[in-house]
Amino acid sequence: MYVQILGSAAGGGFPQWNCNCGNCAGFRNGSLRAKARTQSSIAISDDGVNWVLCNTSPDIRAQLQSFAPMQPGRALRDTGIGAIILMDSQIDHTTGLLMLREGCPHQVWCTDMVHEDLSTGFPLFNMLNHWNGGLTWNRIELDRSFSISACPNLRFTPLPLRSAAPPYSPHRFDPHPGDNIGLIVEDLNTGGKLFYAPGLGKVDASLLQMMAGSDCLLVDGTLWDDDEMQRRGVGTRTGREMGHLAQNGPGGMLDVLEQLPKQRKVLIHINNTNPILDEDSPERAELVRRNVEVAYDGMSIVL
């Protein structure tokens, strides 16, 4: 299984276009040693030719241009995108569908809740019907695995996760299973397993067991501290209120990952305020000490 990190940042990317926090300002003036990052999206393949996109960020055009296998040149109009899986209906994970309109129709896999959001509050399915048939919905059922014809040797298992629906959702304040999912992706040839959860607000015993059965954990790295946005003066909500488990503190992501010594551990969906973006920060050094990696655009993983 081939896993390509197309984008590794949270919504807004890094540096965020309208942000002058210490990280963003430091990157722009050259005082911060860090990598620029686009908004979170990955691609998965079983053969390196045909790919499944997991989320389509607003930066998708630049991400595809930077990854040659997405343009294999087999025809006059062509792409390596075989299908698209949406983990949720958040704007930073779905707006890229608009940028892919020239390639419609696309096979899109998502839950009932995500499909409802993208047919009502943010009606991408309706809008894109006008481009060569638009998006073909394939229903993700939360209690069963599924396969995708473009990558027949991969098995996808959805994991309902605790999170909040986006502001435009009809059930914004009424959470439902399927608002946000993680995935276990298994290569049926190699046996390699990826646990992917860019939005993860809570890890219970059953989820921890599934993480323990995976070879690589690609998990929520949004915030270092739960109140990070408040303390930096750029927001009013905590990480938990936004559906993200911070790395630091009792019961945080680092405590969770500490219980899983055999897995490769990679943080993704990193907010522009997170000090781990600074490669010289003590927080980054703590990750190195714990053998936890920080995803970056262009990172490749093979399982």
Angstrom distance (rounded) from CA 244 to CA 282: 22
How does pLDDT run along the chain (303 residues), one tens digit per residue?
Answer: 999 999 999 999 999 999 999 999 999 999 999 999 999 999 999 999 999 999 999 999 999 999 999 887 888 888 999 999 999 999 999 999 999 999 999 999 999 999 999 999 999 999 999 999 999 999 999 999 999 999 999 999 999 997 778 888 988 888 889 999 999 999 999 999 999 999 999 999 999 999 999 999 999 999 999 888 888 888 878 777 787 899 999 999 999 999 999 999 999 999 999 999 999 999 999 999 999 999 999 999 999
pLDDT recorded at residue 16: 96
Q: Give the burial class of 280: count Cβ atoms within 10 A of its Cβ; 0-12 exposed, 13-18 middle, 19 or more buried.
A: exposed
DSSP codes, 13-70: TBTTTT--SHHHHHHHHT-S----B-B-EEEEESSSSSEEEE---TTHHHHHHT-GGG
Please state the pTM of the whole predicted model.
0.96
In degrees rounded to 5, what are phi and psi of residue 231? Answer: -65, -30
